[in-house]
Amino acid sequence: MRGDLERVLFDEPAIHRRLDEMAAQISNDYRDCELTVIAVLNGSLMFMSDLLRRIPLPLRLDFVSVMSYHGKAQTSGEVIFKQIALPDVVDRHILILDDILDSGHTLAAVREKLEATKPRSIRVCVLLSKKKQRARHVNTDYIAFEIEDEFVVGYGLDFMERYRNLPYIGVLRKELIAESRK
Ligand code: IMP
Ligand code: MG
């Protein structure tokens, strides 16, 4: 799989160092209130498990499962909730975790849905944020890494459901994306 990457952006030690910093910041920000983490599946899985193990606070964990890509390397704009029942977040301090902020459609939709269920507060935490003009603006409170507008895989991120298990994050070779569109 390494051969399918143009280059590695963040190796395992770099990711873990950054998560140490981010977890310390989150632990400090939520030291006085009980946190409810809502992770967006499937992409945030690795990020969630490595980050949460570094937060020594009592917290609750729940999930939402959405789909927006339909297997291609660009967003369709439509966000489909694969899970019918939303987690109960009434009066809770919630922290949404997602793998990557790209067009903004996914996080804007997730945030809106959760806001409608009346939590006490909402913050958003992403592993990656692409530097680009977004279709929808999303306020983010914690960002592990900002990246250029390139298609990346690994550490939870997929291309057509592959590469999620790579322990590092890298840029996928453009020919592979082009080939899949043929
Ligand atoms: P958005 O709705 O366009 O912001 O995209 C969010 C979702 O698209 C993420 O949760 C990912 O699943 C997927 N995505 C966006 N950019 C990438 C990428 O570079 N690599 C892999 N998945 C991506
Ligand atoms: Mg995906």
Q: What is the mean pLDDT of the chain?
A: 92
Q: Which residue among 42, 48, 81, 100 is best mutated to probe the pocket of ligand 1, counting the most ligand atoms within 8 A of its Cβ?
A: 100
The ligand 1 atom nearest the CA atom of 98: 10
Query: What pTM was estimated for this model as a whole?
Result: 0.93
Residue 152 has what pLDDT?
98
Residue 82 has what pLDDT?
77
Compute, in angstroms, the gap from residue 157 CA to the centroid of ligand 2: 6
| Residue 20 annotated as catalytic | no
| Catalytic entry in 50, 98, 102, 158 | 102
Closest by CA position to 98, among listed 88, 90, 110, 87: 110
Q: Which residue among 48, 72, 102, 180 is best mutated to probe the pocket of ligand 1, counting the most ligand atoms within 8 A of its Cβ?
A: 102
Q: What is the pLDDT of residues 124-157, one digit of tens each?
A: 999 999 999 999 999 999 999 999 999 999 999 9
What CA–CA distances, in Å, run from 130 to 69, 100, 143, 144, 158? 16, 8, 10, 11, 16
Residue 165 has what pLDDT?
97
Structure confidence at residue 70 as a pLDDT band (50, 70, 90)? low
